[in-house]
Amino acid sequence: MNFTIMAQEKTIDQKVDSLLKLMTLEEKVGQMNQYNGFWDITGPAPKEGNAAEKYEHLKKGWVGSMLNVTGTEEVRKLQKMVVEESRLGIPLIFGFDVIHGYKTLAPIPLAEAASWDMEAIEKSARIAADEASAVGLNWTFAPMVDISHDARWGRVMEGGGEDPYLGAQIAKARVNGFQGTDLSQNNTIAACAKHFAAYGFAEAGKEYNTVDIGTSTLYNMVFPPFKAAVEADVKTVMNGFNLLNGVPVTGDKNLQRNILKGTWGFDGFIISDWSSIGEMVPHGYAADLKHAAELGALAGSDMDMESYAYVTHLADNVREGKVDESILDEAVGRILRVKFELGLFDDPYRYCNPEREKSRLYHEDHQSGVLEMAQKSMVLLKNEGGLLPLKKNQPKIAVIGELANDNNSPLGSWRLGSDDNTAVTVLDGLKKYTQNLTYAKGPKVFNEDANFLNEVQVNETDRSGISEAVELAQSSDVVIMVLGEHGFQSGEARSRTKLGLPGLQLDLLKAVHKVNKNIVLVLMNGRPLTINWEAENVPAILEAWQLGSQTGNAIAKVLFGDYNPSGKLPMTFPRSVGQVPIYYNHYSTGRANEVPIVFWTHYSDEKNEPLFPFGYGLSYTTFGYSDLAIDSSNQSKIKVSATITNTGKVAGEEVVQLYIHDKVASVTRPVKELKGFQKIGLAPNESKRVEFVLTNKELGFYNHQYEFVVEPGEFGVMVGTSSGEGLIDSFVKK
Cβ–Cβ contacts within 10 Å for residue 321, how many? 7
* Contact code string over 508-537 relative to ligand BGC, x by CB under 6 A: ------------------------------
User: To the nearest whole angstrom, how small is the minimum distance from the Cβ of residue 487 to ligand BGC?
Assistant: 17
Site for ligand BGC contains 27 (CB under 6 A): no
User: To the nearest whole angstrom, how small is the minimum distance from the Cβ of residue 402 to ligand BGC?
Assistant: 29
Task: Closer to ligand BGC by CB, 237 or 558: give it.
Answer: 237
Task: Closer to ligand BGC by CB, 131 or 492: give it.
Answer: 492
User: To the nearest whole angstrom, how small is the minimum distance from the Cβ of residue 46 to ligand BGC?
Assistant: 21
Q: Report the alpha-carbon distance of residue 189 to residue 43 in Å, rounded.
A: 27
User: To the nearest whole angstrom, how small is the minimum distance from the Cβ of residue 70 to ligand BGC?
Assistant: 12
Among 35, 141, 178, 545, binds ligand BGC (CB under 6 A): 141
CA-wise closest residue to 143 among 165, 171, 177, 123: 171
User: To the nearest whole angstrom, how small is the minimum distance from the Cβ of residue 195 to ligand BGC?
Assistant: 6
Residue 94 near residue 236, CB atoms below 8 Å: no
Q: What is the DSSP letter of 263?
A: I
User: To the nearest whole angstrom, how small is the minimum distance from the Cβ of residue 551 to ligand BGC?
Assistant: 24
Residue nearest to ligand BGC (CB): 141
Residue 34 near residue 92, CB atoms below 8 Å: no
Q: Report the alpha-carbon distance of residue 10 to residue 21 in Å, rounded.
A: 16
Cβ burial 143-171 (10 Å sphere, 16+ → b, else e): bbbbbbbbbbbbbbbbbbbbbbbbbbbbb
User: To the nearest whole angstrom, how small is the minimum distance from the Cβ of residue 339 to ligand BGC?
Assistant: 19
Task: Closer to ligand BGC by CB, 141 or 351: give it.
Answer: 141
Bridge partners of residue 719, in order along the sequence: 658, 727
User: To the nearest whole angstrom, how small is the minimum distance from the Cβ of residue 274 to ligand BGC?
Assistant: 4
Q: Report the alpha-carbon distance of residue 278 to residue 459 in Å, rounded.
A: 38
Task: Closer to ligand BGC by CB, 194 or 557: give it.
Answer: 194
Site for ligand BGC contains 414 (CB under 6 A): no
Task: Closer to ligand BGC by CB, 148 or 579: give it.
Answer: 148
Task: Closer to ligand BGC by CB, 413 or 723: give it.
Answer: 413
Element (H, E) at 440: strand 437-440
Task: Closer to ligand BGC by CB, 296 or 465: give it.
Answer: 296
Site for ligand BGC contains 273 (CB under 6 A): yes
Q: Report the alpha-carbon distance of residue 33 to residue 12 in Å, rounded.
A: 22
26's CB contacts (< 8 A; 6+ apart) are: 60, 61, 62, 315
Among positive and negative, which fits the CA dihedral 299, 305, 309, 315?
A: positive
Enumerate residues 64-103 that contact ligand BGC by CB under 6 A: 97
Task: Closer to ligand BGC by CB, 266 or 274: give it.
Answer: 274
Q: Report the alpha-carbon distance of residue 452 to residue 50 in Å, rounded.
A: 23
Enumerate residues 451-480 that contact ligand BGC by CB under 6 A: none
Task: Closer to ligand BGC by CB, 50 or 666: give it.
Answer: 50
Element (H, E) at 53: helix 49-60
Size of interface with ligand BGC, in residues (CB under 6 A): 6
Site for ligand BGC contains 274 (CB under 6 A): yes
Site for ligand BGC contains 492 (CB under 6 A): yes
Bridge partners of residue 718, in order along the sequence: 659, 728
> If 0-12 CB within 10 Å is exposed, 13-18 middle and 19+ buried, where does residue 674 land?
buried
The identity of residue 340, as a single letter, is F
Report CA dihedral (411, 414, 417, 420) to the nearest 10 degrees: 30
95 Ramachandran zone, left/alpha/beta (phi>0; psi -120 to 50)? beta
Element (H, E) at 373: helix 364-377
Site for ligand BGC contains 235 (CB under 6 A): no
Q: Report the alpha-carbon distance of residue 430 to residue 427 in Å, rounded.
A: 5
Q: What is the DSSP letter of 259?
A: I
Q: Is the N-terminal amide bond of 581 cis, ω within 30° of 0? A: yes
CA-wise closest residue to 473 among 439, 448, 523, 425: 439
User: To the nearest whole angstrom, how small is the minimum distance from the Cβ of residue 296 to ligand BGC?
Assistant: 16
User: To the nearest whole angstrom, how small is the minimum distance from the Cβ of residue 205 to ligand BGC?
Assistant: 16
Is 477 among the residues known to form the active site?
no
Q: Report the alpha-carbon distance of residue 543 to residue 388 in Å, rounded.
A: 13
Cβ burial 238-267 (10 Å sphere, 16+ → b, else e): bbbbbbbeebbbbbbeebbbebbbeebebe
User: To the nearest whole angstrom, how small is the minimum distance from the Cβ of residue 202 to ligand BGC?
Assistant: 12
* Contact code string over 176-195 relative to ligand BGC, x by CB under 6 A: ------------------x-
Q: Report the alpha-carbon distance of residue 337 to residue 322 in Å, rounded.
A: 26
378 Ramachandran zone, left/alpha/beta (phi>0; psi -120 to 50)? beta
Cβ–Cβ contacts within 10 Å for residue 480, how many? 27
User: To the nearest whole angstrom, how small is the minimum distance from the Cβ of residue 141 to ligand BGC?
Assistant: 3
Q: Report the alpha-carbon distance of residue 437 to residue 560 in Å, rounded.
A: 13
Q: Report the alpha-carbon distance of residue 310 to residue 564 in Å, rounded.
A: 53
Task: Closer to ligand BGC by CB, 97 or 112: give it.
Answer: 97
The catalytically annotated residue of 97, 273, 302, 406 is 273
User: To the nearest whole angstrom, how small is the minimum distance from the Cβ of residue 493 to ligand BGC?
Assistant: 8
Q: Report the alpha-carbon distance of residue 378 to residue 545 in Å, rounded.
A: 7
What residues line the site for ligand BGC (CB under 6 A)?
A: 97, 141, 194, 273-274, 492
Which residues are designated catalytic? 273
